[in-house]
Structure 1
Amino acid sequence: MGQTTPIEGSVFSDSRGKIKTFNTFDMGQIVRFYEIFPDSPEIIRGWQGHSKEKKWFYCHTGSFAINIINISEGNIPVNNRIPEKFVLKENFPLILEVAKGSATAFKSLEIGSKLMVFSNFTLEESMNDDIRFPLEKWNTEW
């Protein structure tokens, strides 16, 4: 529980163009997805967590910094936890799997960035599992 797993994709290129693939990404758990495209790289979204919901993040345009913190570890006080930072970029095919029991805060690193988010919960289930923290709760690097 609480582990973040990068799922690497592949890029194939020939005279017709490029194809990004994620052939090892099992989408069997996913019930919905949505896309986030911030108005500005100055905007930080977070901290939002879920005790039961699992999410996957994929940047298909631009780049994003995503900070993730485990909020379910009973042996470490919440205030003493250190976020783990990931950078997702459109030219490096990577899906970031965020385990249940985690909270995220993220921002785009360039204008026009777009982030796809996949979830194993319906919107109603997600809203009932929503845990929010102030942005200043943990020291993060952007």
Structure 2
Amino acid sequence: MKEALPKLIEGGAFSDQRGTLQFVNDFDMSVIKRMYFTTHPSIETIRAWQGHQIESRWFFCVKGTFKVKLVKIDDWKNPSDNCEVFEFELNENTPQVLYMPNGFANGFIAVTEDSKLMIMSNYSLGEIEDDHYRFDSNKWVNWEQ
């Protein structure tokens, strides 16, 4: 069985005299059990690294722009410094959802002030135990670049 990799689910937009409608019609929300938002008032705020062996996540930029980085974890107790990093940029003007399969850790930083990111999960809060892992924010990348 092939392992799942992160992917962007592309959307689109339609504009007329009434305004603009954005959509991501290929995003199947049937597995989503909860969602929440994080707002970064500063481009210096780094949220990294949070990982899940079981849980999957989806990210959608509501406002501004975020750099989102995902790492496939090779050992949850002592991950290698050489894990592959996948990098994405999510922007409010480009409707797309980033899928992070289970087995990955995520980190993100706002590119513009007051950026807002919606995060969705396929598990309810407290539904699974001991599936939250944190790693040093500079373990795999230099966020200053």
TM-score clears 0.5:
yes
Q: 1:2·1:101 contact (CA, 8 Å) conserved in 2? A: no
Q: Which amino acid aligns with 1:39?
A: P
CA-atom RMSD in angstroms: 1.8
Identity %: 39
Output the TM-score relative to the length of structure 1: 0.91
Q: Which amino acid aligns with 1:135?
A: S
Kindly report which structure 2 residues correspond to 1:60-99, keeping only aligned pairs within 5 A, or say none: 60-72=62-74, 78-99=80-101
Offset of residue 122 of structure 1? 1.1
Residue matched to 1:29: 31
1:34-85, Cα deviation, whole Å (9 max, x unpaired):
01101211010010000010000000110000111001479xx622113111
Greater fraction of residues in helix: 1
Kindly report which structure 2 residues correspond to 1:1-142, keeping only aligned pairs within 5 A, or say none: 1-72=3-74, 78-125=80-127, 128-140=130-142, 142=145
Q: 1:72·1:102 contact (CA, 8 Å) conserved in 2? A: no
Deviating above 2 A after TM superposition, structure 1's stretches of 4 or more consecutive aligned residues are 125-128, 139-142
Offset of residue 139 of structure 1? 2.3
For the residue of structure 2 that corresponds to 1:79, the secondary structure is: coil
Output the TM-score relative to the length of structure 2: 0.89
Q: 2:69·2:108 contact (CA, 8 Å) conserved in 1? A: yes
